[in-house]
Structure 1
């Protein structure tokens, strides 16, 4: 069973931003400098959930340039593709 460690921190100013320090909490879930996180905000109850982002790797032979090009084409032909879907 997982154990929840409660921590209390003060919101401080970092440059032009507000933030909190939580190095120990991040280390507990295996996060380190440069890692990507997913942040879910529930405005109703004031809850913020920070999770490790799922790392997705491209299959062998698929370059990042291909995905960039595919994304551009899908954006350019968005309405056409939606029209084909409804046929």
Structure 2
């Protein structure tokens, strides 16, 4: 995650036009992990970066990769995912 924010910082610092062109764009977070729920504070750097760059932060979607889903649960997860990215 540190590399992502380091590269983003370099990108918008060294090429300010790129940073300015991000204003008003949409940002969404998709995370996968083995914790039951997304760890507290995980979304904070994304939300704060979106605010700083004046991006429209649309929220996050988290999937616990340890969960074993039956067919109906998997279909619901797919529906939720595609609905989320269609924003």
Determine which structure has greater relative contact order: mean sequence separation of CA pairs < 8 Å that are 6+ residues apart, divided by chain length: 2
More helix by share: 2
- The two structures have a TM-score, normalised by structure 2, of 0.21
